[in-house]
Amino acid sequence: MATIYTQVDSNIRKTWLLMGVFLIMVIGLGYLFGYVYHNSSIVILAVVFALVMNFASYWYSDKLVLAMSGARAVSHESAQDLYRIVENLCITAGLPTPRIFIINSGAPNAFATGRDKNHAVVAVTTGLLEKLDKQELEGVIAHELSHIGNRDMLLMTVAVMLAGMIALMADFFLRFRMFGGGDGDNNRSNVVFAILGLAAIILAPIAAMLIKLAISRRREYLADASAVLLTRYPEGLARALEKIGADKTPLRQAKTATAHLFIANPFKGSNWLNLFSTHPPIAERIKRLQAI
């Protein structure tokens, strides 16, 4: 019989399976392009550049995201109720209390960021504090603390890095080919590999984006399940997601680069756009929570 624990285990296994596929894609592309163009230096340059840029952004992710979101730090004295909820859940989760920030927006939403549990941040909007009751707010905070406890920031940084690396490699190789890269041989083998290389240039970034979205959605399901383990009350988070999904207030502080961090997609789009969202459909998340 399926339980909350088997759901957590399943999400973890599927996430790491997707990461394995990601790594195989990077290695395969590097080998294929190196063979086609008889030049491995571009592969090395692309990998080094992607590593440096993405790990730099990971190291300073909390400062960048907070600045982009216009979040302000709050003290224990100025937000006692919020701090009390966070501190109690942190004790249950065995986590140090993160820094707490508030975003001045009527849209109910929240996110967590930071490179590890000792440098973590939880940010909530004023709309979340105004529109949710205590049990619903506890569900949202537990979800964000679960992201911290599960080290999702690290995993998603690696996923973004791999997706960016694949897109960058494809772009480099395409430009290299356009400007006469390679040895110019026209034998049948080289033609076949050149066709495969062109197909990879076109399809690999698309596949990388789809894998990144799949990993993001898996982590949201995992954080939902982990939040229930903390609060022992799935209905609180389910009600919170229902209110967040129904609210039409725009979150103007959200950016494309930070949208995946929020508990729910901050952009209110069509069902077609939701296919490319980093978040699973709220209705499906609520359905899973109600089934627990």
Helix axes 188-231, 152-178, angle to 10 degrees: 160
Helix (H) or strand (E) holding 112: strand 110-113
Query: What range defines the domain where residue 103 resides?
Result: 1-292
Residue ranges for the chain with pLDDT beneath 70 = 1-12, 14-15, 18-19, 33, 36-37, 39-40, 42-43, 45-47, 49-51, 53-55, 57-58, 154, 157-162, 164-165, 169, 172-194, 196-198, 200-201, 269-276
* pTM, to two decimals: 0.78
Instruction: Quote the pLDDT of residue 1.
Output: 42
**By percentage, how much of the chain surpasses pLDDT 70?**
69
- The closest alpha carbon to 266, from 242, 236, 244, 283, belongs to 244
Query: Residue 275: what are its φ and ψ, rounded to 5°?
Result: -60, -30
Q: Answer yes or no: 220 catalytic.
A: no
54-80 pLDDT, tens digit per residue, is 667 667 778 888 988 999 999 999 999
Distance CA 220, CA 111 (A): 12
Round the average pLDDT of the chain to a whole number and report it.
80
| Strand bridging mode 121-125 / 99-103 | parallel
Whether 8 and 225 have beta carbons less than 8 Å apart is answered as yes
DSSP conformation letters of 171-196: HHHHHHHHTT-S-----HHHHHHHHH
Q: Which one is catalytic: 136, 138, 144, 220?
A: 144
Task: Pull the structure tokens for residue 274.
Answer: 């939701």
- What gap in Å lies between CA 27 and CA 22, rounded to an integer? 9
Contact 204, 29 (CB under 8 A): yes
Q: Which amino acid is located at 232 in the chain? A: R
> Domain tally for the chain?
1
